Amino acid sequence: MEINKILDTETKYLDKIWQIQNSNEFLEKLSYIEDVLKNNFNYIYENFDDKNIIKVAIERLIRFFGYRDLNAINVYPSPLSSDMAIETEDAIICIDAKTINMLTNAGDDRSIHFGRNQINFNNIPKYEVEIGSHKFKGVSFRPHLESIYKNKPVLTFFLTINYEDDHANSDNFKLTSHSLVSVPNFYISRELFEDDIISNYKTYTYVKKELALRYGSQYMPKANKSSSWVEFRLHSSVAYFDVNNPHPEDSSQFCIWKKLDNKYSVLRLDAGSARIDKSFLEENNRCLRSSI
């Protein structure tokens, strides 16, 4: 598919969704949500098992406006996708809701966090390490979301609502700001960003007992590390080369171990979730912000 066409379509829907977010009707419904949650604050906390009491309402709000105002002609049927995924005349639009409590997690607003179902670009592996004859080619992040569907680009957006909640007093509950991010499609990432978009990984994946039974007993989680392992730094954490065993997912590499839940487990070569800095997205006209 032509790169400029995908890029124009990304820009078109970034502008369109941002207009929806800043419409009087959208902001009025945000105000309504805030009022309802404040007025039922104690009852909700007594009966809801999550401290984030706003996320469900925001997900519903995005679906309400998305289906209605983006001229959806069909749903996108795959479960490997975002909170809302619709087909329009020229694209598949995936929008994920993010809600950040600025009293407890303000740092989360510096980046967008996502899993493999929420993006479709293939980032270059990160954290390649070489110590003497020991080389680790890095951790990949393989997306599950397809990049083209029915000859239409699959586009991904993240709509974030920031709020304040001390979990104790309804008077201190309020919505503060909102933002919208457009994450590059597979082809845009490859052509314009050389697939170097991810700033760091949030979570890793490991070979746990069930998978180790398939790979071989040598890959079972262990209570103690082996004296033959070679310690190295994997980004900001400690990991170990197992020079006696090839990696079960790539025999050209050494097996890598990390400590997890008081045991040592084999690090899989595909991360679980990742981050993109919003500053990077802003520099490339892909992040918009506003107060509420």
**What is the phi/psi pair of residue 268, to 5°?**
-75, 160
Dihedral class, residue 137 (left if φ above 0, else alpha if ψ from -120 to 50, else beta): alpha
**pLDDT by residue for the chain (292 residues), tens digit each?**
799 999 999 999 999 999 999 999 999 999 999 999 999 999 999 999 999 999 999 999 999 999 999 999 999 999 999 999 999 999 999 999 999 999 999 999 999 999 999 999 999 999 999 888 888 999 999 999 999 999 999 999 999 999 999 999 999 999 999 999 999 999 999 999 999 999 999 999 999 999 999 999 999 999 999 999 999 999 989 999 999 999 999 999 999 999 999 999 999 999 999 999 999 999 999 999 999 9
Of the CA atoms within 13 Å of residue 192, those in its CB half-sphere come to 15
Cα–chain center distance at 281: 14
pTM beyond 0.85:
yes
**Which CATH entry fits the domain spanning 3-124+141-202+274-291: 3.40.50.300, 3.40.600.20, 3.30.70.100, 3.30.1300.10?**
3.40.600.20
In angstroms, the CA 250 to CA 287 distance is 37
So where are the chain's domains? Answer: 3-124+141-202+274-291, 206-267
- Nearest residue to 64 via CA among 103, 20, 98: 20
Residue 9: CB atoms within 10 A of its CB come to 19
Residue 188: CB atoms within 10 A of its CB come to 23
In angstroms, the CA 171 to CA 121 distance is 42
Give me 29's structure tokens.
Answer: 């419904």
Contact between 123 and 196 (Cβ < 8 Å): yes
